[in-house]
Structure 1
Amino acid sequence: MEFEKTKKVLEKFIESESWHKICEILVSRLNSSFFWVIDTQGNFIYRLQEDRKFCQMIKNNLSGSRGCQDSFQFLRQQVIEKKKSLVNNCHAGFLKFASPLMVDNEIIGILGGCQLIDLNLDFELYQATALELSLNIEDFLFFISKESSISSSNLEAEIELVSLATKNTLESITRRETKERQEKKEVDKVRDFYDLFEACRELVLNLETKKLYPTIVEMARKAMNTQICSLMLVDQENKEVTIKAACGLSEKVIKETCLSSEEGLVGYVIKSSQPLLVKDVETDPRFKRRHQSERYHTKSLIISPLKIEDKVMGVLCMNNKEDHTPFNEDDLNLLSIICGHAAIAIENSKAYEKIKKDKAEINIQAKELSILHDIGEELILRHTPREILDLSLTQILKNLSCDLASYFIWEGGEVRAKVCSLYSLEEESLQQLKEHFKKSMPNLSFFQSLREEFSLEVISKSSKRPKDRDILAYLAYSLSDNGSFIGILALASFHKRIFLENEKNLFSLISKQISVNIKRALVYEETKILTERDDLTNVYNYRYFKKNYPEEFKKVFFHYQPLSLIMLDFDHLKMYNDRYGHQQGSFLIKKIASLIERELKDKGWVSRFGGDEFSIILPNTPKDDAFKVASKIRESINNTTVNLNGDLHKLTASLGVATFSGRETQIRDEKDLLELADKALYQAKDQGRNKVCQYHE
């Protein structure tokens, strides 16, 4: 990684919340007052420098100061060579540590510290250091005795945890930067196309098809930055494909090109109704050269269908990028978006030509576009499928000539159905509507099993009853997600009538709008889940905890209700990782998470706090009940035996419980409660692990 990039990553690292927590660990748990982050050249990125008095005495001595510098450089060199965390003694006998900061197995910096008193080192050795450096022995030893000490083994264990935290943080930073760069590049491409499309919107909406084709081609070529772009339409009767407009091809080539709609790459796209990417045409036997001219020498191409619903009307072909690099999947995705707009534009243009002779029909078309625009603006503000569908019923009743609008949707294996009516509906009318729903379903096996009654939510705009209870006119369109049936949108009337073509067209477009927005809502929900769930265990992640835990505390704080917090630490994860590998360690963490969820049920929620630690929130749960929940979780874990490479192990975990009763003054905010739960957790670990400890004031 380039030096400037590593420097930026390190700067983001020390600005991260994880780094602040690492600093807390170094200060509170290691009692370290001298630690730093340097780049590979030894430049300080971060430094906390509060010398202990005994180290001040050493540094005030010329020989001692040189020893400190040599010790620092030696430790730095060792870490760079070995690429692992190190703990050892400095020239004066004090403990020092260093941990490599790595990205993609490359060291970009070092986290280190020193001035820690070695619990296992005899005071006589410190006395010898004082003698060697001609220091005041009495003062030197006095200052040492005033500070806490730590064993090298405990320090190694703590630094391993710190190393894991730094590794995860750096990986998150670099992943995020890479993803953001890629996403920005693709978003810029899509945005440029939309800007271009918006600039030409009025022109596109009012062009005849013959003038529309070259406009689409030129817009697509600019957006994709290609040498050749051609729009080809299918003649269904003759099963031929001809070029209607192109950039980069001569008029002769455009006129003479006539392909079979069932052969070659174009035929494949038309038959499959799927876009196609060919990075190197020489490797694809379906490609046939029709022009040997160097000018038209194709090396890489992408083709995407122009389709409305499942009907392919033609294709948009791109040959060769201007920069001569092969097309990739991102290019194919962008072309698919362009084709979606182009197909709608072409379809709208054909419809416009069909009705423009009649002024009344033009007004109808304008009204339809206005309705679609208004509905589209309303739909974009809805974020769940249910909200989108409920809005659609209101808009259909408002804009189409019908007496009722309804939807039937298959969601999570269950049926949801709703009807919004201008009249008060009787059971007979509802039964007729249900039968219409069943007849509108695709002939798929899992829908054929739907013969039992399903509930239908009814919203009536008035108490007035229709003159006739029978549904005499019915129109329905399927709602789909990438071709998969997800439901039905329907309208009906109690008056005998035939729906006009423009009404069917408008209702069809509304249905498509609804489908697109439902897909958007589903993607939004999936993305929301991904951002809130831990990748490994599928329980909530720390981000979710950080956002929702304070909200949980606020709820109970102002209503004087109890809230319990359990902090759980899976015992001996490092031992399992070292002995059986991190894959088995990950398996055990997933196992612990599933056991917690099994015991927790609906009493609260669990999140992975980090590494081998979990947090469990129990709203409206007093301390005795919280202790029982924690005990059941501990017992469930302790009763679990796992087989790791033939070795049987009983799992254990340590749990700390703290409760805000609703009235005590010691707990002022959620941070206090978390701190008390942490203290209880460490009590459990200090007592030998596999314990539940509850914080007592």
Structure 2
Amino acid sequence: MQFLIEGAFQLKTTELIHYIHSPLVILVSAFVETAPFALILALQPLLHLKELIHSPLNSLLWMGLFLYVPSGVVFFISNRREKAILNLSERLTSLKNEAREQADRAKELDEDTIISSYLSNEGQTGDELARLLDLSKKAVVAEEVHLFLYRAGRLVCYLSTSETAPVPEQEGLIQDILKNREDRMVFSEDKELENTGYLSNEPVRSLIGCALMDGQIPLGVLTAESLRYRAFTERDLEVLKGVTSLIVNALTRQRLMTILKISHTGLNVLHEQSAELTTVLDVDEILNRIVHSVRKLSGASVVLLWKKSASYRVFASKDLKVRLERISVRKINETLLKIVHTNKKAIYFDDLNRHRGAKKLLLPDGFPQAASMFVVPLLLNSRLEGMVIVLSREREGFNQYQRHLIEVYLNQAAESLSKAILHEEVKHLAFTDGLTGLYNHRRFQERLQEELKRAERYEEPLSLILLDIDHFKRINDTYGHPAGDAVLRKLAELIKKTIREIDFPARYGGEEFALIMLKSASKEAKKIAERLRKTAEKTIIKTDAGEISVTLSLGIASYPEDAKTREELIEKADQALYRAKHSGRNRTVLYRG
């Protein structure tokens, strides 16, 4: 092209034609490789040989400056840009290939690419064990609780509720417990127990010892001691066995930490979210964290269903507007979720549109619309306790790597849930009356104080019902104490069935019970109290000693109309109960009635 332009100039001798070729060279320099560009510049003197011979020197300099410098700058910039684009393209291709390879290898996660490691350090474990020992001491009403562990081939006192830790001996009861792997409960009526296997600070007359076993590996012994004769029961032994399970979990807990040959980002999120669960012992908090973590792992919407009796509680990620708080098992079985509910295995629906013509609903009413769905069961000891539903608006919304990462995380979360549930069961035993299954007096006092503070903060009413079984002493004298116990158990059952789920029932002492009625003024509380009184009056209680009928007297005081403090509220409710008993019994009396 430049040759043609230069030839036209030579024929026509028109300067305008001559000036066209310079921008052309500059333009071409942006699109050619290094070798062609060098050739073009090398040919310029030949094309302009006539000007080099006849033109003044300054004209040649201006032409060279105008031609060579802009062409060189344009070529340099264009060349660098092309190299940068090429590097980015190669890097993108490499990343895509690596991601595809990692996703393909995710199916090997269970066999080849998982390693185990502890997630909690010794300090965190020590704090957890200290809380467990303190809880155990309260639960079984022991003087002291000690944890002995194997260290360097011998038993040492690793932790104790006593300020002065006991010193283990070479042999004795705790050594025999560990050797035989058999839990023991022993008493001494006349004198302190001998040969316990450790030097105690006080004369021990009752002792429970439970072996800590990690499979077939002995870890140590947990003991609870008392200065009283026959201070413990079989129930206390079961409580301590439950605590040993928690301790073993705390000592031997291992978490899946590293997934080889998979996304580094996904691994960090998995590790971060799993580590957060290790220190949590509240079930609801763990469930909420699971929803949050699965959303981070998947980038999608999440609904968690947690089984409670014949229904599921609903937990949803914040991006969803799910107003459901509960959903029945029957409604679950009317949808595709029945497959997971029945088979207890994860299932992936990559295109929900293919199932829209089926007889079953895709999802329960109130759930968001989705194009694909991944559902994973939450199994605790092989029992289905819930399911996690991950929803995407896109077809094929989750690749194999994402699905496997979610399953790995939920397996870890199931372990944390098991630990939290066991912890709550042990805690419940510490706060529960052994005969009736209701909360005990100490927990009642704590809860009443908590609820009064909450009622004051949110400006809500609260009522306290104190109730008493009329002529209970006569029942014990006539039918015997076992029959009296049966009456107390039956009344506790009636209370649970009559009150609302938000209310708090407790055994106040003897034949007296206390009910904390949340968000209830005196009139609402009296309606529930009367319903309970009439139900009890109509109930025939069958015992081994015969059929027994009872009546109840109930007294009610309310916050803030009757009292402002815990002590005042209890006193006013007790006064109302006193008036009920001394005005004929079998009635409900308000403090301001």
TM-score bracket, shorter-length normalisation: 0.3 to 0.5
User: What is the TM-score of this pair, normalised by structure 2?
Assistant: 0.47
Higher relative contact order (CA 8 A, sep 6+): 2
